[in-house]
Chains A and B, each alone.
Chain A
Amino acid sequence: MERAHAPSPLPQIDSRARLRRFKDLAAGWMVSAGGMSVLVAILLIFFYLLYEVLPMFQGASVDPVTRYPAAAAVADEGAAAPLLLAIEEQAEIAVRLDESGRAAFFSVQNGTPLRQEQLPLPAGTKITSFAIDTDASRLFAAGLSNGQLVLARHDYEISYDAAGVRSMAPALVYPYGDTPLELGDSAIQTVAVRDASKGLMVAAAIDGRLEARQWSKTRNFLTQETQLKEQPLQLPAVDIAPDYLLISPDQRLLYVIARSGDYRVLDVRNETLLDGGRLLRSGKVTEVKFLLGGVSLMVADSNGRIAQWSVVRRGGESELTEIRSLTLGNGAVRHVIPEHRRKGLIAVDGSGQLRLLHTTAERELLRQPLEGAPVALAIAPRANFLLVENAAREMQLWSVSNPHPEVSWSALWNKVWYENYREPAYVWQSSSASESFEPKYSLTPLAFGTLKAAFYAMLLGAPLAICGAIFTAYFMAPQLRSKVKPLIEMMEALPTVILGFLAGLWLAPFVERHLPGMFALLLFMPVGVLLAAFAWRQLPLGLRRLVPDGWEPVLLIPAVILVSWGTIELSGPLERTFFAGDMRSWLTNDLGITFDQRNALVVGIAMGFAVVPNIFSIAEDAIYSVPKHLSYGSLALGATPWQTLVGVVLPTASPGIFSALMIGMGRAVGETMIVLMATGNTPVMEANIFEGMRTLAANLAVEIGETEVDSTHYRVLFLAAFVLFGFTFIVNTIAEVVRQRLRRRYSVI
């Protein structure tokens, strides 16, 4: 320090010393930073996983984009009330159809009118009822006051010019001609339409009477024109007011619902009444819409509830069943608008508040007051914009951000009643070819599969490893120990892909062929070992002295090989004696147990084998490092080695053994390749040892490569990774803390 005050006589040395000091400091900083980087790495993994997972649990948001008077968009001051408001795919053009049969196309973003069209209504008629087929087909039906029906589609033809700029031409098209269909001779009160590739079906209520028609389609090969041919249809009479009519997508079911809540389900194909009853205990139905896919009805009522009803098949009987309900409160529900691509919906409650809901997740994502009473709403197909027309004839455009409505705590972990299911269930089914697919993101079967695999692995691995560790650490001759320990530790380095491949391709068929033998082995092995030990004891002392203490495992080699070989050889005769020659079919036919070739037993054996070295080496360390003076003291007081082990050594080492088990468990839970290769990877929830499972880790390996980045599925998979990370983090931290404590305790003793 003093040198800093007085100039040094040797400036060169001084500068070198400064350089050295600087280097020393820099090295210190660098090393510390490097040490911290480990902490940074684990925190990075943690926070990154969290960063991918959290957006799923955030709600939705809507933001006002613009507003304009409806009159401007429609270019008509005295515009009638809207029947239809819809937005096309790109969210550029909207269409508004009013009661006078005028369709106005306008720009969504600024309300500029683009095109006006008039439905071909006969003179003096007006539209008295209206229905759309699906949002995707854009086909709609307008029932007229003279009992006629007009079918049309709002269509957007896309073309590209030479420079590749896209332009869109909106128009109304009439796929079945622009002459109205005759259904009756007085006003159509309610109408429903369903169009499919095979045929067209229309149902209508005229004078409180139900009128339904069905046409089959034929395609003319030359002109490529579709021709309709009417099919006779004789539906049974219904005894309720047909206020709402809905036709299922396969045109098999016709739902008739009265405002009072009474309903009838008609089987169109057999022309019979399928089911009838009431949807409500009190109040009135205010709106009925199909959820995406047309499997469920969303029934809104005057008590502020939206219930999901679906036809459930129970023992041959089909019944319309309420599978869930969403309670909004605030009086009668005014509007229900299903989303076009997801099982979500938009609702306006009695107080005029906008609600964003999702059925499967039973989740309310947003609650937002709207200005003025909305009379019509349209959600863009990609669910990114919402157009609202209110009573003051003002259009409001909102941008919607609702990326992950499908996920909620209950959808991930609880039983969920999915469409087309008989009852609530835990199901993992993340994707399907169908567009109206309901994703089933229940992590429960995967978590169950993970624990099941880990359980069977530990059932086999833990006793083997701990018994082996006890013997190796406490009884084994040192020379032998120095050979055995590295051998078992080499097991740890065996790539799990090899264990998995052997389990799947060699062990699984082997176990299947020698099933009785495998179970007999569990019984015969300990018995055989004990018999061998007893026989050894009967040998003359002189002979026994040839093998020093602590070499028992070597003595047992022939016994173990003999018992294993003998039992496997015995498997065939056993199978013939007890299971009529085929244990597998005995299990399936006599006990009703499903048998998969790649099952939990195979996984248990292979993964048990994989966790043995982990548990073994830590448990062995813990037992071996119990201070020797403790056991010497016990032995000196006259205890046998076994008493010393049970009374002194094991209690002292038990925290170490516990942490060994924890680490083995962590390994079994996170193991991927063995499970991937040795099970069928079906996400079932069965504890049956002869069935497979799908674990969280294997599921990640199978699915994450094929998901779209940042989609809900992608994030759910990250959640699965996060769950795995969290589980092993807890298990490992407990194990490590216990071990650190134990080490300090040993150093005190």
Chain B
Amino acid sequence: MAELRKEDEAVDATPNVTEVETVEAATETAAVAAIEAPVERGEPILQVRGLVKHFPLTQGILFKKQVGAVKAVDGVSFDLYQGETLGIVGESGCGKSTVAKLLMMLETATAGEIFYKGQDITKLSGRALKAVRRNIQMVFQDPYTSLNPRMTVGDIIGEPFDIHPEVAPKGDRRRKVQELLDVVGLNPEYINRYPHQFSGGQRQRIGIARGLALNPEIIICDEPVSALDVSVQAQVVNLMEKLQDEFNLSYLFIAHDLSIVRHISDRVGVMYLGKMAEIGTDTQIYDHPTHPYTQALLSAVPVPDPEAREGRERIILTGDVPSPANPPSGCRFRTRCWKAQDKCATDVPLLAIPERFQGSDTPAAHESACHFAEEKDVVHAA
């Protein structure tokens, strides 16, 4: 209905088409200008507010009717500051990869806003959206399936230039691609090779070079090292840190490996079943967690040091993550939580600094979505 009405309005407006167009063009130009404007280090570059993504569940073949929805992301808000790395951790199915896809505009959000330098990118189109896309790039998890096996490395890294030719003029591309190869630590002479001629770690470097090609401001990394061997993982993590300094990038680093996330992140957000459970600086989250889920997650991480291990408390959760199609009422973690009480089944806890820590400057005073938030160190040996 809404769309029909819009069309009616468009018909009414026909006499003023040119006027409308110029107004639109002007707002678009203003948006592009805002998007191209630099952001000071430490200022928010990306602000996510109440982001929701529901995937409909349908029944029937001819007459599909919606019988429910998988609530993959259900009201997530966070800020990404210029020049920082925000780590997002959580188990499979918590919605962390869906958040990445929404930020990349690969999926359309059901509700919520994503502000990139103050512009809500969910409402942009045309030139302004194209400018945003250039500035937010992605590095994927699996270096084996994210590179086209029939394209040479030069074509893969150079492909973004086909869509954004203003970044590298045609005659300049080969040199630009070779530069990128050099930047990520690959031999520039490999430009005509195919992906299968490279090892996993080298392929991930190719994926990173592709992400860097358009000089983006933000790189979204969805499990960039989890497919790699331990000895190679460290190489790639070091490379990513080096590139961040060199190109002044902001990273959204999504991973399930909590040790790697701590190493690379300035701030960390913990997701559970489509919601943010807790968010804070790396010290606040790892050394002073207040949400029971974060505590359980941290205590379950295997530590390659049996002596440090023996003094640690281990919280073993019972059961599995509930289905996001039918999440528990109230607090979503309550079905596996040892602290759960009646209140948890009725009231959804909000992501905020817990009342008891408000106004104090302890590291425990950071946003946590739990009615009974209290600090517990599970990482260090007692």
A and B assemble together:
no
